[in-house]
Amino acid sequence: MAVTILIPTALRQFTDGQSEITVEAKTVREALRGLTVKYVDLQKHLFTSEDALRSFVNVYVNEDDIRQKNGLDTPLAGTETLMLVPSIAGGLSSDALQSSPQLPELTHDEITRYSRHLILPEVGMEGQRKLKNSKVLLIGTGGLGAPLAMYLAAAGVGTIGIVDFDFVDESNLQRQIIHGTRDIGRPKIASATDRIKGINPKVKVISFDTRLTSQNALQIIKDFDVVADGTDNFQTRYLVNDACVFLGKPNVYGSVYRFEGQASVFYAEKGACYRCLYSAPPPPGLVPSCAEGGILGVLPGIVGCIQANETLKLLIGGGDSLINRLLIFDAWKMKFRELKLNKDPNCPVCGKNPTITELIDYEEFCGLRRHPEKEAAVEEVTALELKKLFDDNANLQIIDVREPHELAIGKLPNTKVVPLGQVVRRQEELDPSKITVIVCKIGTRSAIAIRALKDSGYTGRLLNLRDGINSWASDVDPKMAKY
């Protein structure tokens, strides 16, 4: 019987860009087997060498997680939709988040400012006073943190904490609307603070101009009521999750990639945490960052607004929260999907017998701490060194593993395009007698491609263009645009 499998953006590089694939299958296992037969590059991304489904990939049949059914042996009747959900970066009682029974009064000016809230029976004077008494910590002031900060400030949240150590770059401005052109080069925390105060001078801003780490996370988070996660990397996501579990704080989650976004509320006291959904992160490089994969500028605005909405409901103590629900949004198709989440009794952090009881080394956990003795060496070449090889007419072949549309921005001479998801399958198109220079935007995807080629037995010499095509634009050809 025919079963439709929905492919998320992060995995479409391995399905020739296809978002929906139909296979004949009677069980989930058969469906995934049929999928990996059609697209062999997906095999290692979905299954371990022991043929088990990888921990960073969840499979849903309609709205149900197969882990709560019969796993890979879950039967299919032919009318279901099977969805792959890989990791990408009920209301609470009114007493749950308010540390003091004494709520601050509203001034006459505040009554005027928040009048459209006050006439909502679900908010009213008491709800607005709760917001004034609340403290929300934002992790990051980028694409997600920007709308979060601005709408929470406008709504009258009394104290907003912001954690960020980055500086405003011109490429941020396409989506990070809290920063402006005149802020380029400034610390994000400074421009975000100015914007928050410009929207609502009554809001108290507490700035943490630092990277969130295992050493400072508990101290920073402990005095806030709600944490809103606007990060763009897995190590910080797991750090925020674990710290919130240990401190009993709700974690309002959002993530974005290209055209897809996810949102939920992870609150271990009431339901699932982030580790219940994704027990382990994907291998480094499988899910590109926005810098490499791209992102529709409006998408983090939409998802960040959903996070702001969930945060306000938690603080006020009303509405139906996204606790135990995962909301998935496809901006290109303008479709929302909602999936059920379940608390995992075996979760290593919030389960019945937790094995993680303190913050750990999250760089190590996410596979980012390099172990040269375990890692295949990648030989690099700088842009200037590559230019000399060109000038010397060296026996070269240039393989660009970016997506074909990226080459319109700029490319090296005599480039052959072999997207990362196809590089192993198409290695016979490479000439082992030539020096092969692998190129991408910033040198990350090309390094992954080299390791994959070596693991598959390719014998030719492989060089990685250090810092990617952007280094060529900086050091060799200033007429080429950087992106």
Catalytic option among 244, 273, 276, 290: 290
CA-CA distances (angstroms) from residue 155 to 120, 166, 205, 297, 462?
13, 26, 14, 23, 55
Q: Taking the CA atoms of 233, 234, 238 and 244 in sequence, report the sign of the dihedral they define.
A: positive
Query: Are 311 and 152 contacting, i.e. CB atoms less than 8 angstroms apart?
Result: yes
Catalytic option among 273, 350, 366, 440: 440
CA distance 259 to 331: 5
Q: Taking the CA atoms of 306, 309, 315 and 317 in sequence, report the sign of the dihedral they define.
A: negative
Is 290 catalytic? The answer is yes
Query: Are 113 and 160 contacting, i.e. CB atoms less than 8 angstroms apart?
Result: no
Of 259, 227, 253, 257, the closest CA to residue 322 belongs to 253
Is 350 catalytic? The answer is no
Query: Are 461 and 436 contacting, i.e. CB atoms less than 8 angstroms apart?
Result: yes
User: Can you list the positions of beta strands (E) in 14-133?
Assistant: 20-24, 57-61, 64-65, 81-86
In degrees and rounded to multiples of 5, residue 305 shows phi and psi of -70, -35
Residue type, 4: T
Which residues sit opposite 326 in a β-bridge? 339
CA distance 343 to 324: 8
Query: Are 413 and 399 contacting, i.e. CB atoms less than 8 angstroms apart?
Result: no
Residue for token pair 């917001």: 131
- Strands 251-257 and 226-229 turn out to be parallel
Of 367, 388, 422, 337, the closest CA to residue 64 belongs to 337
* Active site amino acids: 290, 440
